[in-house]
Amino acid sequence: DAGVTQSPTHLIKTRGQQVTLRCSPKSGHDTVSWYQQALGQGPQFIFQYYEEEERQRGNFPDRFSGHQFPNYSSELNVNALLLGDSALYLCASSLGQGLFNEQFFGPGTRLTVL
Amino acid sequence: QKEVEQDPGPLSVPEGAIVSLNCTYSNSAFQYFMWYRQYSRKGPELLMYTYSSGNKEDGRFTAQVDKSSKYISLFIRDSQPSDSATYLCAMSGPPGGGADGLTFGKGTHLIIQP
């Protein structure tokens, strides 16, 4: 049973650039959430996608956007990158929005902004 | 005041000791409580998931929730060097109630000395 997968593993960008991160949920899961984890901090909730729509959003600017595809996979896009966007970006999948909220995490994408 | 407070440690204990990890929270809407283990440069791994106040046991791990005090704990019995990791508490509100994203503590860095 495949768990949550994310790509790429590492990414280096420069300020002002745009980046796209990808996530495939655990088999049988239909909900994807994205988190940002800065060094030495706990993950912070960015947003959650269910039925191809953004359902919940944390305290992140509009530079952070996403998409969910019919096969439940998801993308996180960040525009106009800032140095402070350097972090581990985690994807978590779960089953059903409004139901049992047990979330399983992928290994993350480490983004470095220079 | 942060919504979830967790002592970052490090907490160093000898092998075989009982470990106690704790979090306090301020938001009464939180109903679901989780403990994740995160090894360096990896994604968080779900250890325990609880809904109600009381204890839940799984092998060497016991999760305890006291909603009246807004306090949760994770106990690890017979600790092993492989338990050395960062332990993150996380919590969320009622599903579909506008708080489906998880709110994490900062994580406690645990070191088990052989």
3-state secondary structure of A104: strand
3-state secondary structure of A4: coil
How large is the average pLDDT for residues A64-74? Answer: 97
Q: Among A108, A60, A56, which residue's Cα sits nearest to residue A84?
A: A60
Q: Determine the pLDDT at residue B83.
A: 97
For residue A2, name the pLDDT band (cuts at 50, 70, 90).
confident
For residue A99, name the pLDDT band (cuts at 50, 70, 90).
very low
> What contacts A33, CB < 8 A, 6 or more positions away?
A45, A46, A47, A48, A49, A91, A92, A93, A94, A103, B100, B101, B102
Contacts of B48 in chain A (CB under 8 A): none
Q: How far is A97 from chain B (nearest CA, A)?
A: 6
Q: Among A65, A68, A77, A57, which residue's Cα sits nearest to residue A29?
A: A68
Weakly modelled stretches of chain B, pLDDT under 50: none
Chain center to CA of A107: 11
Q: How far is B22 from chain A (nearest CA, A)?
A: 15
